[in-house]
Amino acid sequence: MKIEQKGKSNVKITDSFWKKRLEIIREHVIPYQWEALNDRIPDTAPSHAIENFRLAAGEAEGEFFGMVFQDSDVAKWIEAVAFSLENEPNEELEQIVDEVVALLGRAQDENGYLNTYYQVKEPKNRWTNVRDNHELYCAGHLIEAAVAYYHATGKRQFLDIMCQYADHIASVFGPEENKLKGYPGHQEIELALVKLFDVTANENYLNLSKYFIDERGKQPHYFDLEKKERNEKKPFWFNDDYAYHQAHKPVREQKEAVGHAVRAVYMYTAMADLASKTNDESLKKACETLWENVTQKQMYITAGIGSMVFGEAFSFDYDLPNDLSYTETCASIGLVFWAKRMLNLEVNRKYSDVLETALYNGTISGMDLDGKKFFYVNPLEVQPEASEKRNDKKHIKPVRQKWFGCACCPPNIARLVASIGHYIYTQNQNELFVHLYMGHETQIEIAGNQVGIVQKTNYPWDGKISINISPESEQQFTIALRIPGWSKGAVVKVNGEIVDHEPLMKNGYVYINRNWSENDQIELALQMVIERIQANPLVRNNNGKVALQRGPIVYCLEEVDNGKSLPSIFLPRNAELTAKFEEDLLEGIVVISGQAERMEDAGWENKLYRPVEEHTRKVEIKAVPYYAWCNRQPGEMIVWVNEKR
Amino acid sequence: MKIEQKGKSNVKITDSFWKKRLEIIREHVIPYQWEALNDRIPDTAPSHAIENFRLAAGEAEGEFFGMVFQDSDVAKWIEAVAFSLENEPNEELEQIVDEVVALLGRAQDENGYLNTYYQVKEPKNRWTNVRDNHELYCAGHLIEAAVAYYHATGKRQFLDIMCQYADHIASVFGPEENKLKGYPGHQEIELALVKLFDVTANENYLNLSKYFIDERGKQPHYFDLEKKERNEKKPFWFNDDYAYHQAHKPVREQKEAVGHAVRAVYMYTAMADLASKTNDESLKKACETLWENVTQKQMYITAGIGSMVFGEAFSFDYDLPNDLSYTETCASIGLVFWAKRMLNLEVNRKYSDVLETALYNGTISGMDLDGKKFFYVNPLEVQPEASEKRNDKKHIKPVRQKWFGCACCPPNIARLVASIGHYIYTQNQNELFVHLYMGHETQIEIAGNQVGIVQKTNYPWDGKISINISPESEQQFTIALRIPGWSKGAVVKVNGEIVDHEPLMKNGYVYINRNWSENDQIELALQMVIERIQANPLVRNNNGKVALQRGPIVYCLEEVDNGKSLPSIFLPRNAELTAKFEEDLLEGIVVISGQAERMEDAGWENKLYRPVEEHTRKVEIKAVPYYAWCNRQPGEMIVWVNEKR
């Protein structure tokens, strides 16, 4: 079964949850980031990213400034704009991008090379440190942006620029004797080259991606050869181990996710892409093994990944400390990318459940509700005083920041949210797989037939979804609906008639094959109850604790609702919990509340320890969605709540 | 009430618990450390400490090697030898020390200066960086050693050397116009100068100590002036704050313990000394306030202090993470010093309880039962894989080390244990205060009468203590017995007759005033039960957990007894726990055992999260004294155990 990826989404989001986020991206985040890229935001770390391209084009004078991967911020911004234009055309914005693209064209070297750091600062040292210096990474983001912009506008200029650059890269790296045997220290170009192949059908791009993946981790190690060339002696800083770059061994031998989490999931994404494009079974198996490791042993309940600040990295199985996590916004975004590709390999809710968890929790927690501030790190437990006073918790910011010196996350979340419509469906010739539920309208070609689809739902607050199916003409095909893993039960109706769906279930999807005709109506009712979730006992920090979840939404307790010292709250196993939609709170959320106990702190009279006494008082607790935390007064936050049983 | 400190202890330890430790110190630790100081131990970090003195004396050629405070290792070793000689004369050892002292004499400059780092490496830069470079710290340790050696042997040579050095220091630092207005970055000399005053009665030493304490933290800040002189620009590394050295404000204004924990408690020790020697009420008040802060808000249940690796420092009130603690052996040792001085200011069990807790837990945990390996850091929760793979837990060693590059702790624990007899009593003219219970014999002068005392007990495993009191002639005086805070009840008998002790209690001590005559017998029976201890609810890591304690001993669970994944064990509140002495285990300990529940890890089938289910299995747990952990197979360890209630 070959699943096709659609390049352009013509999904029109009407969803109450996502529509306002798309508007924020369009109306606030994209313009704000444009100002940031042009250094017009006071009191924030300067970006210099556009100016760097002017320098490279010889249209300005000065020094390169910023991270070695500063170009990628421009790329991610253009990509976000492109996805946003798909949703809502905007001539003014398009014109700005056209001007940036023209600048990129002028900055590009005649041979196709385009990287402002090297062009401006170290023109002689190109491709001498692909381990650390992000040339291939930046190229990857620019390629992704060019592809997205082409899909959104049909304009080829940017795509042509990037094809030229990709051709240049293919002339530098590859198996031929005169070429470098290298691959990027920060994976990204691999997945981008697959996209470039998809849009151009030029197999060179697919082959180059495959080369980067297959070459990785081979001995003698390219990073060592390259390092020797640079005459660099010191051991690599990450335990002297290329596990940081997932280059410690060939990718097919990798069984556990290690190292920098973003690099890891970007690589796994490309691996899954290549496995499906090239029918590579060993690569597919490697992806599945790594997926199991990440999602069954190294993932927070919010779909945050990366449990240590050192190396922004995975640590080891079941090591998921809530107050020391890294859980970078970009890593959860990468997990979304990867999950989507795994769905192309196999339609299975083990992938779409994680995709959904990431979308509703660990990714969007990275942005405040106004789109004005961002988290790099998305911890599951915050005590502001510890973030301030403990060096080992300095990375756990208790409030979102306006912008970062290393500004990868804000444009990444912008491009993810702007492209949300791309994650609802995958399909093949005769089957349409519905992975996500959100209000939208779209036209999809199934079995050669244009099918109009309208989804209506109040998801994620309510489990009722109605889907209107209107093919041009009556036709038989399959619609496969995901029944989320969290759902305690589902009722499926077609045109008002209950479908006995259990026999139609496969890997968590209900396969409805029938003759569809105009205005056929699917109704799906997912039972959305408040769940107390427990963690595998091997997760040592969560023993005796529960997290509250309802539908795809993971909840947390905040100080603003529950007072200080949140870990002294104990939720009895049998305490009744109620869910209620509060329209005016945090832009409209379902709140969970109930009665819990709090360790009585009166009576301690300056004692630190004493023989146990049972002094608790009843307290009302109020839990809010994790993604919405820290949108009111800052303070403590916990996801995992002590339980009394 | 003036309490006198005895210089020399003539306590002969016969105690089953401490006697073997003294033997280990004498027979293994002291000889081993002598070999280490002379670089004769293979496979360990070289010390070079003795060689440095040879270099300074011009009797060897080469470079200074080691920490800037390397001299202090020699000092602490001599001090340990001195205390050991008090317990058991040893001519051979005494001769070695005499030779070292002679070497020190030859290394000493004519003007009295004696610091091998500066003499060998930077002779022109003496006293230019008292903030960082430990000249005054090393002088302090040498003074302490000289005083101890004088008490133990009556030999004056070392004392004379150090008086000459102290006189030199007094000529360099002080309020007079031509003197430096400085004070040490690492406090230590302040308490040493008080000891030097005690033995010499030279008030200059007391005044110099007082000067260092009173000058500290004044503005303009000496460390800034000194830094400017050095033309040093960069901000101080500890948050650009002299709180690291407790020099952020004058000592009397300090209300909370901050910064490097060892520096802090060494300073508080000197402050308490000075408060009692000079009747300084404001200094006494400052000590009391700091004592309350440390023991009521910043102390682990083991009497470990310093809850973060950054700066080896205090963090903030109630921040006591078990798996990120620093809890340096030396810091708990310093807490013992300080507690002893607080007892001189006021006989109150709030001081002696902490002193006892530190002695039986957080100090001796720093050494293995053989005296061959040492912990620098004494954590309350250890997972070896986390220590290996997480950078933020690298300081938490899962096994003791043979020696350290910075070898402060091993000789410090040696001198503490060797001087254990000094901590049993304090006294004034007519009152003898019994703070600790351990088998020993001694002669003490009370009210002008030589009183023979013999304590017999199987403490800390048993709460029965018998004390034989034999004055030369019948005389009225007071014996005040500490009733530990952990005791649930006590029976006091004199010559077989129960004493109604409640009316005689003051601040936790039973004051027995009577005519004592030969072979009077005190019997004290302390009720020693297994306690489940809970922490103040503001200690966020310990909510829902208990620590087991019996008498002064804090217990822990080790993997070797209880399997892996210790946090998945839950101890029911009502589970019966039994205490049993096991003679052959860990050199004879009382073991606590009982039935607990373990979260069932079967049935998880590679899931990381699921809605709560109640699957536990009954398990026998076995707890051993914390101090004795990691003397069998290495593995996980926890002090705080999850509770089910």
CA A381/CA A302 separation, integer angstroms: 12
Model pLDDT for residues A307-355, shown as the tens digit of each residue: 999 999 999 999 999 999 999 999 999 999 999 999 999 999 999 999 9
Model pLDDT for residues A465-501, shown as the tens digit of each residue: 999 999 999 999 999 999 999 999 899 999 999 999 9
Model pLDDT for residues B273-320, shown as the tens digit of each residue: 999 999 999 999 999 999 999 999 999 999 999 999 999 999 999 999
What percent of chain A is modeled with pLDDT above 90?
A: 92
**Minimal Cα–Cα distance from A10 to chain B, Å?**
36
How far, CA to CA in Å, does A616 sit from each of A564, A567, A605, B253, B547? 15, 13, 16, 37, 19
Q: Over 50: is that where the pLDDT of A4 sits?
A: no
Q: What is the mean pLDDT of residues A537-564?
A: 97
- Given this model, what pLDDT does residue B403 score? 67
- Given this model, what pLDDT does residue A3 score? 43
Contacts by B335-338, CB closer than 8 A, 24 or more apart: B335/B265, B335/B294, B335/B299, B335/B303, B335/B305, B335/B362, B336/B363, B336/B416, B336/B423, B337/B191, B337/B265, B337/B266, B337/B269, B338/B265, B338/B268, B338/B269, B338/B272, B338/B291
Q: To the nearest whole number, what is the mean pLDDT of chain A? A: 95
Would you call B532 and A611 a contact, using CB atoms and an 8 Å cutoff? yes
Q: Which of A311, A566, A612 sits opposite B546 (nearest CB)?
A: A612
CA A172/CA A182 separation, integer angstroms: 9
Rg, chain B, Cα only = 25
Q: Over 50: is that where the pLDDT of A543 sits?
A: yes
Model pLDDT for residues A43-95, shown as the tens digit of each residue: 877 889 999 999 999 999 999 999 999 999 999 999 999 999 998 999 999 99
Would you call B310 and A390 a contact, using CB atoms and an 8 Å cutoff? yes
CA A315/CA B389 separation, integer angstroms: 6
8 Å CB contact between A187 and A193:
no
Rounded to 10°, the helix A281-297/A329-345 angle is 140
User: In the 8-state DSSP scheme, what is residue B3?
Assistant: P
Would you call B390 and A308 a contact, using CB atoms and an 8 Å cutoff? yes
How far, CA to CA in Å, does A618 sit from each of A615, A644, A645, B154? 10, 13, 15, 67
Q: Which of B386, B534, B609 sits opposite A535 (nearest CB)?
A: B609
Would you call A540 and B565 a contact, using CB atoms and an 8 Å cutoff? yes
CB-CB neighbours of B295 under 10 Å? 25
CA A257/CA A296 separation, integer angstroms: 11
Q: Which of B296, B299, B316 sits opposite A389 (nearest CB)?
A: B316
Is A312 a catalytic site residue?
yes
Place of tokens 């990468």: A334
Active-site residue identified among A138, A287, A408, A409:
A408
Q: Over 50: is that where the pLDDT of A98 sits?
A: yes
Would you call B543 and A599 a contact, using CB atoms and an 8 Å cutoff? yes
Place of tokens 């995958």: A426
Strands B520-526 and B616-625, sheet pairing: unpaired
Would you call A568 and B612 a contact, using CB atoms and an 8 Å cutoff? no
CA B521/CA B523 separation, integer angstroms: 6
H-run or E-run covering A227: helix A222-229
Would you call B292 and A606 a contact, using CB atoms and an 8 Å cutoff? yes
- Given this model, what pLDDT does residue A7 score? 61
User: In the 8-state DSSP scheme, what is residue A120?
Assistant: I
Place of tokens 């100081």: B37
Query: For residue B503, is the peptide bond before it cis, meaning its omega torsion is within 30 degrees of 0?
Result: no
8 Å CB contact between A380 and A302:
yes
ipTM value? 0.94
**Structure token digits, residue B191:** 């308490």
| Rounded-to-5 percentages of helix, strand, coil across chain B | 40, 20, 40
Residues of B within 8 A of A301 (CB-CB) are: 608-609
Would you call A319 and B385 a contact, using CB atoms and an 8 Å cutoff? yes
Tell whether the torsion through CA atoms of A304, A75, A30 and A48 is positive or negative: positive
Active-site residue identified among B312, B328, B356, B559:
B312
- Given this model, what pLDDT does residue A645 score? 87
CA A329/CA B210 separation, integer angstroms: 55
Active-site residue identified among A312, A381, A597, A636:
A312
CB-side exposure of A584: number of CA atoms within 13 Å? Answer: 0
Q: Which of B297, B319, B534 sits opposite A612 (nearest CB)?
A: B534
Q: Which of A324, A536, A546 sits opposite B607 (nearest CB)?
A: A536
- Given this model, what pLDDT does residue A9 score? 72
Place of tokens 């999931």: A265
Residues of A within 8 A of B606 (CB-CB) are: 292, 296
Of A37, A57, A72, A70, which is closest to residue A120 (Cα–Cα)?
A: A57
Would you call B608 and A297 a contact, using CB atoms and an 8 Å cutoff? yes
Would you call B391 and A310 a contact, using CB atoms and an 8 Å cutoff? yes
Is B312 a catalytic site residue?
yes
Of A592, A563, A585, which is closest to residue A631 (Cα–Cα)?
A: A585
Tell whether the torsion through CA atoms of B306, B309, B312 and B314 is positive or negative: negative
Would you call B389 and A316 a contact, using CB atoms and an 8 Å cutoff? yes
CA B330/CA A623 separation, integer angstroms: 44
**Minimal Cα–Cα distance from B377 to chain A, Å?**
16
User: pLDDT confidence of A406, banded at 50, 70, 90?
Assistant: low
- Given this model, what pLDDT does residue A465 score? 98
CA B80/CA B30 separation, integer angstroms: 7
Give the DSSP per-residue string, A327-378: -BHHHHHHHHHHHHHHHHH---HHHHHHHHHIIIIITGGGB-TTSS-B-SB-
- Given this model, what pLDDT does residue B409 score? 81
- Given this model, what pLDDT does residue B3 score? 43
3-state secondary structure A483-509: CCCCCCCEEEEECCEEECCHHHEECCE
**Structure token digits, residue A75:** 């790329």
3-state secondary structure A287-317: HHHHHHHHHHHCECCCCCECCECHHHECCCC
How far, CA to CA in Å, does B605 sit from each of A531, B463, B602? 20, 49, 7
Domains of chain B: 14-423 (1.50.10.10), 425-526 (2.60.40.1180), 531-644 (no CATH)
**Structure token digits, residue B553:** 């001993």
Residues of A within 8 A of B541 (CB-CB) are: 567
Residues of B within 8 A of A565 (CB-CB) are: 537-538, 540
Residue of B310, B349, B390 to mutate, interface with A, max A Cβ within 10 Å: B390
Counting one residue from A and one from B, how many pairs have CB atoms under 8 Å apart?
162
User: In the 8-state DSSP scheme, what is residue A391?
Assistant: G
Residues of B within 8 A of A547 (CB-CB) are: 609
Query: What's the angle, vertex CA B473, arms to CA B468 and CA B476, rounded to 5?
Result: 80
Would you call B537 and A644 a contact, using CB atoms and an 8 Å cutoff? no
Listed in sequence order, the residues at least 6 apart from B456 whose beta carbon sits closer than 8 Å to its beta carbon are: B14, B439, B465, B466, B467, B468
Tell whether the torsion through CA atoms of B583, B587, B588 and B593 is positive or negative: negative
Model pLDDT for residues A161-205, shown as the tens digit of each residue: 999 999 999 999 999 999 999 999 999 999 999 999 999 999 999
Residues of A within 8 A of B389 (CB-CB) are: 315-316, 319
Q: Which parts of chain B sit beneath pLDDT 50? A: 1-5
User: pLDDT confidence of A405, banded at 50, 70, 90?
Assistant: low
Would you call B536 and A315 a contact, using CB atoms and an 8 Å cutoff? no
Would you call A609 and B534 a contact, using CB atoms and an 8 Å cutoff? yes
Q: To the nearest whole number, what is the mean pLDDT of chain B? A: 95
CA B4/CA A379 separation, integer angstroms: 55
How far, CA to CA in Å, does A438 sit from each of A480, A520, B473? 16, 18, 96
The residue in chain A having the minimum alpha-carbon distance to the alpha carbon of residue B316 is: A389
Q: Which of B534, B536, B611 sits opposite A531 (nearest CB)?
A: B611
Residues of A within 8 A of B537 (CB-CB) are: 565, 568, 598-601, 604
**Minimal Cα–Cα distance from B406 to chain A, Å?**
22
Active-site residue identified among B163, B287, B330, B408:
B408
Residue of A354, A361, A392 to mutate, interface with B, max B Cβ within 10 Å: A392
CA B574/CA A165 separation, integer angstroms: 71
- Given this model, what pLDDT does residue B406 score? 63
**Minimal Cα–Cα distance from B614 to chain A, Å?**
9
**Structure token digits, residue B411:** 């000789």
Q: What is the mean pLDDT of residues A202-213?
A: 98
Residue of A609, A610, A616, A638 to mutate, interface with B, max B Cβ within 10 Å: A609
Q: Which of A544, A598, A604 sits opposite B642 (nearest CB)?
A: A544
